[in-house]
Each structure stands twice: as structure tokens, then as C-alpha cells.
């Protein structure tokens, strides 16, 4: 795309040339640069509330894994190495060069081995909340487990990368057997098992009037641990499963130690009831009122939308929901998370590319899973087959089809789609370049001639970002986007296109390939 911009510059006037030149230099900068900082000061809340966080989710157990024979499974007796805090450090430079400024680390707590899922155990089956998972520690290092985690976070900060750590919502069966008083029970006295999560039991956090101090205290220990490690925020797994008063107290406590400490709730407008009867359910708005800075939203529903209007309405609804709070709140671009199937499996690389550019051009914090940027489909050849060796009581390689493996000692995520990676890097640069427009501009839905083509603009200070997308992943279409007052004298700068659009009085006409998304920059023109 950089070459295209340079070529396009030749026919432009001097003022427009300068704009294009600045954009080209910025994109080149963000595709190559790394950042450094001598003294780290947490600014994650500010960054997040400005929709400027570009978040990359990693499973530390696989992030730096070395699978020598390429069979997908880490075999320790063959000198293969699973991911840990220390072998993840060299990969931080790569993340910085991709434009990542925040990482979300999946749970680092010890995992249960009884009634387990997978040969290593689910990262979300926590057997304790105040120590580091020994699976994530380099046993050959003289550093303690906490020192290794601290070193990783320190090195991330040197690359200007902030760190969010995941807080599991449940306890493992092992923890239940050790401390049954911490868990919710049904009328017959049996522990509640949330949905099909057979490896965990539901912690009893109490209710709005009476918080369970024992559960609160183990969560408080977790907060103390991650703040002492130097982390910048927490992502609360299934935050809806605990009362708002529980979270309000815990969040307030964390802010006494670090006012910029971020709290991200796994919650959505789409979730309106608990996953099992008898389980506490706190809706997203009550969580935000309790002190959470942001939530997931419902962007993962894009894969199910049949019309562009559904997507546009989702964006408008999300913006309206956020505006109801007296303090600033924000969302992540939750189009694809570790709980969602790879977009490659759903609709091919075009869907991943669309998600990349939506994250870059919507008023959201960008969010991606390790391996997404190179097109990993998370289809593991060993998946759900009998295991040759296990470290739990599960003798199968349990996985969720098309989702990153969080159950086994498995390979480092990643694909081989270099074109997707290139767009990923460029789009993150675009998000930074146009941050003033995206963070301050007005979101304007635009009318199109086709039900499966969405279009929107974000305008600020006489400049506009225009985005046009085709959610039909099978057919090429000829789209016409209504832009009142637009004349052919307005020359768009193509930021991301496959086909050159035609500007006519009051409209943009363009050909869209299946699943294609186009991004244009309009100078000296506001879409209203």
C-alpha cells in the first residue's frame, strides 16, 4: 500500500502531496520502529479511555514455545520448550514493531490437574490466586518465578508495551477439594459447575449486600501480586459472575496503589442471563458503574450479521451505551478473542483483513489474539486425540476447534500469511496517525445502495476517514455510497483499497471484492 500511496502522490497538488507524504512517512515509521523508556509510569487507563490501546492477547504457555519437530505438541523429553516469561522476552521487539502497545496475558495462576481439560490443564482452572503458574517458569534460571514475571513486564515496558493480566472467574476442582467453603453450591449441596466448564467450580463472591470476605481476600491477594509484578491492569474473566459491590471494593482498593490501573470486564450487552441457574449475574452497565473502565461490547456478533444495517446499529448502540456514564468508558474491538473461532475458519483471510481495519478505524481499542496477524486457523492436528503423555488426569489433547489452544503444551501460534501481516502493521500505524480524528470525531453512518455493504465516516476538524465494507464473502459488488455535498473536486487519499473508487457529485462509487474493506482519507471535507 505504501507504494500505491507514493504513486498516487504524483498526480496530486502540492498541499495534498504534503498530506500524503506525511502519511507515508508515518506508516513507514510504525512498521519499523521500537520504543524505549527508562522510567515506567503507568498510563494505561488514559490510553484505553482514548481508544488508543492496541492490545495483543497471548498465552504465555505457547507464546515463546519451541516445537522442534513441528508436530504441534511440546515434547519435553525431546528437548522442546514450552513458553515461559523468559523466552517470551525476545518476542517483545517483534510486537513493538507491529505497533502493539498493550498485551493481555491469559491467566498466569497455577492450574488444576484433577478433572482437568487437556494435558496441561486449562489456564482458567485456577488452583490458587497468589502465586505464579510453575508451567510459565524457566527452571534453568536462578531467578524466582516472580522475578521472571517481573523481568518480562519490565522488558515490555522498555518497549512501551503495557501489560494486562487475566483474572480467572472460577477455581479448579483441586482448589474446591482443598477449600470447599469458597464455592457456590446448589440445594443438594453440590458445587455449581458453570455450563460445560467441567474442570472448574464457581466461586461464591456473595451478593450485593454481603460480600464473601474469604473470596474477596483471595482476589485481593491476586491484585496485590500483579501490581507488585509491575502490571498495568486486569482483565476480569466472566466479570458478570460476581456482584457489582464486590468489584467496586476491589477496584477502589487497586486504585489506592495505582490510579492508572486498568480494569477490563469480560461482559457484553448480548449477555443477559447467567450461564447456569443459581449463578450471580451482573450486567455490563452495572459493572461499568462499579468502576470497570471498559468491556467487550458485542462486536463478535459481526460473523452472524446478514445485513450491513445490523453492524451499523451495533456501533451506534455501543456509542449510545457508553455515553450514559458520567465518567469516560470504552470498549475493545472484540471481533475475535480466544473464545471466538478464527476468522480464517469462518470466512477466510478477507474476514481477518476486515477485522484488522475495523479495529483501526472505529472508536474502539484494537484487540487481537496471538497468531491472528499471520492467519493462524488454530486447527491442531492432534486435537481431541489420545495423548501420548499427559500432566493431568485427562488423557486426550482437548481443544476447541478453530480456537487458540489453552489446554495443552502446544506450539507457538502463527500462520504464514505475509499480506495479512503487512496490513496488520500498516493499520496499526493508521490508527495512531489518525488518532485525533478517531478519538474526537463524529461517527456518521452512510447510506449505500446494497444491504450487504456498510459505510461510515468519522469526521473532525475538516477531515474525514471513510470506511466501506462488503460483508458478502462470496460475491463481488458495485457499491454506491451517498455523501451529501461531496464533489469531484475532493480528491480522496486511498489508505486501504483494492479498487480505485470514483468520486461523483454526492457519492462514492466503488467495486468491492468479496469481504473487501476500503479506507479513504478526505482532506478539507467533513461528512455530516
- pLDDT 10s digits, 18-64: 555 455 555 555 444 434 446 899 999 999 999 999 999 999 999 99
Residues 6 or more apart whose CB falls under 8 angstroms from that of 139 comprise none
Measured CA distances, 277 to 169, 199, 273 (Å)? 16, 18, 9
Q: Contact 316/349 with Cβ under 8 angstroms?
A: no
pLDDT of residue 22: 54
pLDDT of residue 237: 97
Residues 6 or more apart whose CB falls under 8 angstroms from that of 108 comprise 60, 132, 133, 136, 149, 165, 166
pLDDT of residue 510: 95
Residues belonging to the chain: 528
Segments making up each domain of the chain, as ranges: 2-28+440-523, 33-433
Residue 460 in grid coordinates:
473532525
Enumerate the β-bridge partners of residue 369. 57
Write down the residue that cell numbers 454481603 correspond to: 210
Residues 6 or more apart whose CB falls under 8 angstroms from that of 17 comprise 9
DSSP code string of 489-507: T--PEEEE-SS--EEETTE
Closest CA to 465 of 433, 437, 423: 437
Mean pLDDT, consecutive 10-residue stretches, the chain (528 aa), reads 45 50 52 55 97 98 97 95 98 97 98 97 97 97 97 98 98 96 91 87 95 97 98 97 98 97 97 87 97 97 96 96 95 96 96 98 97 97 96 97 98 96 97 94 96 97 96 96 89 88 91 96 91
Report the sign of the C-alpha dihedral through residues 196, 199, 201, 203, in that order. negative
Count of C-beta atoms within a 10 Å radius of residue 333? 25
Q: Give the pairing type, strands 517-523 and 493-496.
A: antiparallel
The separation between CA 497 and the C-alpha centre of its own chain, rounded to angstroms, equals: 25
pLDDT of residue 194: 84
Residues 6 or more apart whose CB falls under 8 angstroms from that of 217 comprise none
Q: Contact 249/149 with Cβ under 8 angstroms?
A: no
Count of C-beta atoms within a 10 Å radius of residue 48? 28
Distance from C-alpha of 164 to C-alpha of 134, rounded to nearest angstrom = 19
Q: Count the alpha carbons within 13 Å of 179 in the hemisphere toward its beta carbon.
A: 16
Coil/strand/helix, residue 22? helix
pLDDT of residue 33: 43
Tell me the helix, strand and coil percentages in the chain, rounded to 5: 35, 20, 45
Phi and psi, residue 223, nearest 5°:
-60, -45
DSSP code string of 57-85: EE-HHHHT-B-TT-SSB--GGGT-B---T
pLDDT of residue 31: 43
Q: CATH classification of 33-433, choosing from 1.10.1740.10, 2.60.260.20, 2.60.40.10, 3.20.20.80?
A: 3.20.20.80
Q: What is the dihedral of CA 378, 384, 385, 388, to 10 degrees?
A: 80
Enumerate the β-bridge partners of residue 365. 332
Distance from C-alpha of 196 to C-alpha of 122, rounded to nearest angstrom = 13
Coil/strand/helix, residue 151? helix
Distance from C-alpha of 238 to C-alpha of 218, rounded to nearest angstrom = 17
Distance from C-alpha of 118 to C-alpha of 343, rounded to nearest angstrom = 24
pLDDT of residue 26: 54
The separation between CA 451 and the C-alpha centre of its own chain, rounded to angstroms, equals: 28
Distance from C-alpha of 355 to C-alpha of 424, rounded to nearest angstrom = 10
Distance from C-alpha of 472 to C-alpha of 470, rounded to nearest angstrom = 5
Q: CATH classification of 2-28+440-523, choosing from 3.40.225.10, 1.20.120.790, 1.10.3720.10, 2.60.40.1180?
A: 2.60.40.1180
DSSP class of residue 390 equals: -
Q: Count the alpha carbons within 13 Å of 444 in the hemisphere toward its beta carbon.
A: 22
Q: Contact 121/111 with Cβ under 8 angstroms?
A: yes
Q: Give the pairing type, strands 477-482 and 493-496.
A: unpaired
Measured CA distances, 499 to 468, 477, 495, 520 (Å)? 12, 12, 12, 12
Count of C-beta atoms within a 10 Å radius of residue 343? 26
Amino acid at each position: 500500500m505504501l507504494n500505491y500511496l507514493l504513486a498516487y502522490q504524483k498526480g496530486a497538488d502540492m498541499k495534498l502531496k504534503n498530506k500524503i507524504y506525511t502519511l507515508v512517512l508515518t506508516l513507514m515509521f510504525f512498521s519499523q520502529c521500537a520504543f524505549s523508556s527508562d522510567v515506567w509510569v503507568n498510563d494505561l487507563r488514559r490510553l484505553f479511555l482514548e481508544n488508543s490501546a492496541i492490545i495483543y492477547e497471548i498465552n504465555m504457555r505457547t507464546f515463546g514455545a519451541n516445537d522442534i519437530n513441528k508436530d504441534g505438541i511440546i515434547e519435553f523429553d525431546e528437548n522442546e520448550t514450552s513458553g515461559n516469561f523468559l523466552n517470551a522476552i525476545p518476542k517483545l521487539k517483534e510486537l513493538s514493531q507491529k505497533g502493539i502497545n498493550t498485551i493481555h496475558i491469559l491467566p498466569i495462576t497455577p492450574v488444576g490437574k484433577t478433572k482437568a481439560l487437556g494435558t496441561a490443564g486449562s489456564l482458567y482452572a485456577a488452583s490458587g490466586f497468589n502465586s505464579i503458574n510453575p508451567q510459565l517458569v524457566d527452571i534453568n534460571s536462578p531467578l524466582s518465578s516472580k522475578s521472571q514475571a517481573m523481568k518480562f513486564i519490565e522488558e515490555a515496558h522498555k518497549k512501551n508495551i503495557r501489560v494486562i493480566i487475566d483474572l480467572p472467574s472460577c477455581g479448579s476442582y483441586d482448589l474446591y477439594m482443598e477449600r470447599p467453603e469458597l464455592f457456590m453450591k446448589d440445594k443438594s449441596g453440590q458445587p455449581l459447575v458453570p455450563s460445560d466448564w467441567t474442570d472448574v467450580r464457581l466461586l461464591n463472591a456473595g451478593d450485593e449486600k454481603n460480600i464473601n470476605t474469604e473470596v474477596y481476600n483471595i482476589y485481593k491477594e491476586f491484585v496485590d501480586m500483579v501490581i507488585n509484578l509491575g502490571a498495568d491492569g486486569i482483565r476480569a474473566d466472566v466479570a458478570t459472575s460476581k456482584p457489582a459491590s464486590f468489584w467496586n471494593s476491589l477496584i477502589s482498593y487497586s486504585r489506592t496503589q495505582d490510579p492508572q490501573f486498568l480494569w477490563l470486564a469480560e461482559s457484553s450487552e448480548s449477555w443477559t442471563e447467567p450461564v447456569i441457574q443459581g449463578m450471580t449475574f451482573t450486567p455490563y452497565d452495572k459493572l461499568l458503574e462499579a468502576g470497570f473502565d471498559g468491556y467487550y461490547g458485542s462486536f463478535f456478533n459481526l460473523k452472524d450479521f446478514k445485513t450491513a444495517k445490523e453492524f451499523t446499529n451495533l456501533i451506534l448502540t455501543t456509542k449510545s451505551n457508553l455515553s450514559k456514564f458520567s465518567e469516560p468508558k470504552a470498549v475493545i474491538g472484540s471481533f475475535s478473542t480466544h473464545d471466538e473461532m478464527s476468522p480464517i475458519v469462518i470466512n477466510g483471510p478477507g474476514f481477518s483483513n476486515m477485522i484488522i481495519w475495523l479495529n483501526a478505524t472505529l472508536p474502539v481499542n484494537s484487540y487481537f489474539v496471538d497468531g491472528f496477524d499471520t492467519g493462524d486457523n488454530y486447527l491442531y492436528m492432534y486435537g481431541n486425540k489420545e495423548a501420548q503423555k499427559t500432566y493431568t488426569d485427562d488423557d486426550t489433547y482437548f481443544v476447541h476447534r478453530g480456537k487458540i489452544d489453552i489446554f495443552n503444551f502446544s506450539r507457538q501460534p502463527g500462520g504464514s500469511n505475509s499480506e495479512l501481516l503487512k496490513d496488520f502493521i500498516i493499520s496499526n500505524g493508521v490508527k495512531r496517525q489518525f488518532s485525533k480524528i478517531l478519538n474526537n470525531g463524529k461517527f456518521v453512518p452512510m447510506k449505500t445502495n446494497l444491504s450487504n455493504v456498510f459505510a461510515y465516516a468519522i469526521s473532525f476538524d475538516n477531515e474525514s476517514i471513510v470506511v466501506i465494507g462488503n460483508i458478502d464473502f462470496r460475491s463481488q459488488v458495485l457499491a454506491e455510497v451517498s455523501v451529501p455535498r461531496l464533489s469531484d473536486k475532493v480528491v480522496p487519499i486511498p489508505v486501504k483499497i483494492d479498487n480505485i473508487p470514483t468520486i461523483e457529485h454526492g457519492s462514492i462509487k466503488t467495486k468491492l471484492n468479496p469481504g473487501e474493506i476500503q479506507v479513504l482519507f478526505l482532506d478539507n471535507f467533513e461528512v455530516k
